[in-house]
Amino acid sequence: MPLTDDEIRGLRAKARELRCLMIDVTTWAGGAHIGGALSSADLLTALYYKYLNVRPDEPDWPQRDRFVLSKGHAGVGLASVLADRGYFPNDLLHEFNHFKSPFGMHLDGAKVPGVDASTGSLGHGLSQALGMAWGARYQGESWLTYCLLGDGECNEGSVWEAAMAASHHRATNLITLVDRNRLMIDGPTEDVMSLEPLADKWRAFGFQVVEIDGHDFAQIAAAVEGARARARRPDAVAPTVVIAHTVKGKGVDFMEDNVKWHYGSLDSELAARARASIERVA
């Protein structure tokens, strides 16, 4: 069912709130991978506030949907979402990436409630997510597994090994999303190692491919709902990948599409500028 106008307005407002929280956490931490957290903020908002079947007060609920942040360096984004959803108190984020904090730059599933997989070594998240999807199938469970990849990590061979296995085993209960912001730590993806034609590559590996504007909640919703519907169909054979075209640093005018903000730190003045930019977005 398409999102209502009220739902879209609510998700946009929540995404703005979460982006401001990501800016605050980056400031408290002394630095974080903020660019890729901001580019994926709308995807995370749609998943955690509309689609994921989870219980924040019961993080290990066996019937929950699983989520794997393969681009684990964007943990500042996921930690902000999990705190806001009630997995743990927001105050704990003041210690993000500090000595003895449970929150490392890459979130540890053994320490942070709501984190289903410890990630950060790029290229491994899709394999972990596929294992979870297989586990659900073999146990006769109906929960779904979602995996958010960075586009830069799609130059890792292990991503394509997992994709090949997912297609071969018809893992339709695995929903893959790619944050296609076209920038990685070393520069534009197409300069470092060209990914295009990315959609055709996924199709060649047997996936149903959906391309969307990753900042348009109506398009995000249509893509996720379509993937969820295919996951429930007994005759479905192809897993779904959603290639979400996004902007690195989305919402912060001086960060947008700027590779220097793959990782960065903020003083109080820059943080105030960043929040003001986010709050100006309609």
pLDDT of 276 > 60? The answer is yes
Exposure of 172 in the CB half-sphere (CA atoms within 13 A): 16
**DSSP-derived 3-state class of residue 43:** helix
Query: pLDDT tens digit string along 5-16?
Result: 999 999 999 999
- CA atoms of 83 and 80, how far apart (whole Å): 5
At residue 282, the pLDDT reads: 56
Task: List, in sequence order, every residue forming a beta bridge with 241; answer none if it has no partner.
Answer: 176, 209
Across the range 125-138, mean pLDDT stands at 97
> What are 130's two structure tokens?
């596929």
Across the range 89-97, mean pLDDT stands at 97
Query: pLDDT tens digit string along 190-228?
Result: 999 999 999 999 999 999 999 999 999 999 999 999 999
pLDDT of 273 > 60? The answer is yes
Cβ atoms < 10 Å from Cβ of 164: 13
- CA atoms of 46 and 276, how far apart (whole Å): 23
pLDDT of 2 > 90? The answer is no
Give the residue extent of every domain in the chain: 5-280
Confidence band, pLDDT 50/70/90 cuts, at residue 106:
very high
User: Taking the model in full, what pTM does it have?
Assistant: 0.97
Pick 5-280's CATH classification: 2.70.50.60, 3.40.50.970, 3.30.565.10, 2.60.120.10.
3.40.50.970
Share the mean pLDDT of the chain: 97
Contacts of 257 (CB under 8 A, 6+ apart): 183, 247, 248, 249
Ranges of beta strands (E only) in the chain are 66-69, 145-150, 174-180, 183-184, 187-188, 208-213, 240-245
The candidate with the shortest Cα–Cα distance to 128, out of 140, 152, 146, is: 146
pLDDT of 73 > 80? The answer is yes
Across the range 111-137, mean pLDDT stands at 97
Query: pLDDT tens digit string along 142-188?
Result: 999 999 999 999 999 999 999 999 999 999 999 999 999 999 999 99
